[in-house]
Amino acid sequence: MGLATESARAKSLRRFDGQVAIVTGAAQGIGWAIAQRLGSEGAAVLLADLNGEGVHRRAEELEADGTKAAARQVDVGLVADVEGMVGDAVGRWGRLDMLVNNAFPAMEAVTGGAEDVLPEDYDKAMAVLVKASYLGARFGVPHMRHVGGGSIVNISSVHGLLAARGALVYETGKAALIAATRQMAVEYGRDGIRANAIAPGHIATEVIEQDLWDKNPSGRAFFAAQYPVGRVGAPDDIAAAVAFLCSEDAAFITGHTLVVDGGLSVQLQENFGVDQAQYIKARPDTELPY
């Protein structure tokens, strides 16, 4: 490898040296993978989560690996918590470059259609799914503007693009997040601030593996077979997409929703339905997850 290529490679592995990131919902799953990835590429990372104990442990893990990291217990649906979260990152490291809105509320109370969900549960879930991103921008944008720009990444879902039964609140929240992302891109483009969303397909986090798939390997295989690439996603797939969107390589990309779903959502429904029926016919013992 030539010297120039080597130096380009080394640089590309630490695209965020000197920069500061906030990642919400960073105690586990996708948020934890994102925090690790941005940290491994040189960013100082504030890991924010409702689970204070969990997120403190994660920050310690990152620090032990040589990353500048800190943790903060935050409810991203609360104004004062989000203001405090941004102030904490800027107070520690003097700037803010990246804000990743990833936190995910418990969904049990808001599963179902319009008649099933109670108004107070609707409001609580929407505060985390949608309002959190507005609050993050409200308090984070002035600091990004101050350093000449920054990157907001909102973690939406394929559920923000397509609809499923029993998921009114999730579908509405994730679609609204895509709309908010576009608006932020338009609003803050001239400040050098880019806003993008990511729409993941099924991502087998450690919690999903434990709660769903460990006891149902045939269901996991059935899910994997629905993906043109032959597997479901991993948290690192999303972390890599976040790092790309935050990097200079994505300097001309804003207002975009990057679908990271192994091809799940581009399939023609008719053929897809028949493929699934054939899969089950050939493996009648398959245990369906729902």
Ligand X SMILES: NC(=O)c1ccc[n+]([C@@H]2O[C@H](COP(=O)([O-])OP(=O)(O)OC[C@H]3O[C@@H](n4cnc5c(N)ncnc54)[C@H](O)[C@@H]3O)[C@@H](O)[C@H]2O)c1
Q: Which residues belong to the active site? A: 170
Q: Which amino acid is at 17?
A: D
Q: Is 71 in the site for ligand X (CB under 6 A)?
A: no
Q: Is 200 in the site for ligand X (CB under 6 A)?
A: yes
Q: How far is the CB of 75 from ligand X (least distance, A)?
A: 4
Q: Is 77 in the site for ligand X (CB under 6 A)?
A: yes
Q: Which is nearer to ligand X, 157 or 181 (CB)?
A: 157
Q: Is 16 in the site for ligand X (CB under 6 A)?
A: no
**Structure tokens belonging to residue 103:** 């936190």
- How far is it, in rounded angstroms, from Cα 262 to Cα 277? 20
Q: Which is nearer to ligand X, 6 or 60 (CB)?
A: 60
The residue within the footprint of ligand X, chosen from 16, 19, 23, 31 (CB under 6 A), is: 31
Touching ligand X, residues 136-165 (CB under 6 A) = 155, 157
The residue within the footprint of ligand X, chosen from 85, 178, 197, 203 (CB under 6 A), is: 203
The residue within the footprint of ligand X, chosen from 24, 36, 40, 196 (CB under 6 A), is: 24
Inter-axis angle of helices 168-188 and 119-126, to 10 degrees? Answer: 40
Residues that bind ligand X (CB under 6 A): 24-25, 27-31, 49-51, 74-77, 102-105, 128, 155, 157, 200, 202-203, 205, 207-208
